[in-house]
């Protein structure tokens, strides 16, 4: 049973997942620092108020801190935008560029008799049963 557990822990996808979680936490810290140290002060320089947490209203002795919600919502939107423009867009462009460089190997060919699509290694056409040349 211990061998099975060891095999489970050392499987490729388990190790990959652990690495992804560690890198995700580190990346989250970098993006949070980017938003809190660079983007939020830039907004504060434009708007004039970097922190909305003091904004509240009261109804029947209940205080609603909508400013804190605005802060967290703004932080979420800025983090999402930073991740989208700094990670998602560049990775998508890189993947698309790699796809354009590597044409896929053909898996089918046309039957010269009936012009239907058949497997590249077929010896006979499944539609017209004519004999096919097998590529070496």
Q: Are 121 and 134 in contact (CB under 8 A)?
A: yes
Q: What is the pLDDT of residue 89?
A: 92
Tell me how far apart the alpha carbons of residues 117 and 123 are, in angstroms, rounded to a whole number: 13
Whole-structure pTM value: 0.48
Contacts of 39 (CB under 8 A, 6+ apart): 78, 82
pLDDT of residue 135: 64
DSSP 8-class letter at 102: S
Note the pLDDT of residue 50.
Answer: 64
Check whether 7 has a pLDDT greater than 80.
no
Q: What are the pLDDT digits (tens) for 91-100?
A: 889 888 888 8
pLDDT > 70 in the chain, percent: 90
Does the pLDDT of residue 117 top 80, yes or no?
yes
Taking only the tens place, the pLDDT of each residue in 48-106 is: 766 677 778 899 999 888 877 877 787 788 778 877 888 889 988 988 888 887 676 78
- How far CA 41 is from CA of 30, 35, 49, 78, 127, in Å, comes to 16, 9, 9, 12, 69
> Which domains does the chain show, CATH number per domain?
2-103 (1.10.1200.120), 105-136 (no CATH)
pLDDT at 12: 64
Asked if 130 and 113 touch (Cβ cutoff 8 Å), the reply is yes
Report in angstroms the alpha-carbon separations of 93 from 86, 89, 99, 100. Answer: 11, 6, 10, 11
């Amino acid at each position: 049973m211990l061998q099975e557990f060891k095999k489970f822990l050392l499987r490729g996808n388990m190790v990959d997942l652990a690495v992804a979680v560690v890198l995700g936490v580190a990346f989250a810290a970098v993006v949070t620092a980017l938003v809190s140290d660079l983007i939020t002060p830039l907004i504060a320089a434009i708007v004039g108020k970097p922190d909305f947490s003091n904004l509240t209203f009261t109804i029947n002795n209940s205080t609603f801190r909508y400013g804190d919600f605005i802060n967290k919502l703004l932080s979420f939107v800025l983090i999402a935008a930073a991740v989208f423009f700094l990670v998602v867009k560049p990775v998508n462009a890189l993947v698309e560029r790699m796809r354009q460089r590597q044409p896929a190997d053909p898996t089918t060919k046309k039957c010269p008799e009936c012009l239907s699509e058949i497997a590249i290694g077929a010896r006979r056409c499944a539609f017209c049963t004519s004999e096919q040349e097998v590529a070496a």
